[in-house]
Amino acid sequence: MTRKQLIQLIKEKKSYLCIGLDTDVSKLPKHLQSHPDAIFEFNKAIIDATKDYCVGYKINTAFYESQGLKGWEAMEKTVQYIPDTHFKIADAKRGDIGNTSSQYAKAFFEVMPFDAVTVAPYMGEDSVRPFLEYKDKWTIVLGLTSNAGSDDFQQLSFAHGITEKRLYETVLEKVATWGTTSNLMFVIGATRACDFVHIRSFVPDHFLLVPGIGAQGGSLKDVSKFGLTKDYGLLVNASRAIIFAGGGEDFAEKAKFAAAGYQSEMATYF
């Protein structure tokens, strides 16, 4: 999906909602737990119920890889089932030496039809470059996360000439030169909404993938206020708050209601 197509999709739907398919087997409704293809059946129902309210889905690969071959097959079936009208993200947080990253990129961009994959930048440009080489695909680089451990490294300050700069600022500034606003996004945690104005001084036009809304306590209002651009520039992700909004046989209907609520609020910010 191109940047132009993504922007148009957001505009048409009045939504920049991305739904995270963090499908935890232990949390599936009881009536599905004995199903031979429970993960896919759950995902299929969620997608059918919510696709009118979101512009994309983010598959957290850990929840599938942990289930072995059956989980991997469920992931492949899920990404194939997501309509091509929606942005498809593999939340895999890959990052390794160049030839290994090339194989990761091939897995998510060729073997499976994802539009984007999340990547850790710690090993530098050559570890990210293989993902950026794909036409009309997106590399989503970890920028500033909202977990407690982010202070261990991301917020550390160090001398930069006569000034001081935090590590995450250097990451944003440096990585932005590796790609363009048409193939590069950044992950920015929602629970640090006050940082968005500062972050926009480094990446004013890049799309930001923003997890942490809903169950993790992030404010959609604050993220939208400080993060939106003239081209929207946000994909706000909600996972548990939508897919596990209900735990009974009406789980899909509850997910639909939750997704509609996010979209309804987002529409007021256009």
CA distance readout (Å), 180 to 38, 49, 89, 191, 247: 39, 34, 18, 26, 42
Q: Is the distance from CB of 187 to CB of 142 less than 8 angstroms?
A: yes
Catalogue the E-assigned strands of the chain. Answer: 17-20, 56-60, 87-94, 116-119, 138-144, 157-160, 163-166, 184-188, 207-210, 234-238
Structure confidence by residue, pLDDT tens digits, 180-205: 999 999 999 987 677 899 999 999 99
Q: What torsion do the CA atoms of 191, 142, 177, 153 make, to the nearest 10 degrees?
A: 80
Phi, psi of 30, rounded to the nearest 5 degrees: -55, -35
Q: pLDDT > 90: what percent of the chain?
A: 87
pLDDT score of 144: 94
What's the pTM value of the predicted model, to 2 decimals? 0.96
> Taking Cα atoms as reference points, which of 183, 190, 184, 209 lies closest to residue 55?
209
Position 212 pLDDT exceeds 90: no
Q: What CATH code is assigned to 3-95+145-155+186-267?
A: 3.20.20.70
Domain spans of the chain, in order of start = 3-95+145-155+186-267
Q: How many CB atoms lie within 10 A of CB 192?
A: 21
* 51 counts as catalytic: no
User: For the residues 125-142, what does the mean pLDDT come to?
Assistant: 97
Catalytic residue among 44, 51, 93, 254: 93
Coil, helix or strand at residue 17: strand
Residue of higher predicted confidence among 235 and 151: 235
Report strand pairing: 157-160 vs 163-166.
antiparallel
Does the CA dihedral 85-87-92-97 come out positive or negative? positive
Q: pLDDT > 70: what percent of the chain?
A: 98
Position 215 pLDDT exceeds 80: no
Phi, psi of 105, rounded to the nearest 5 degrees: -60, -45
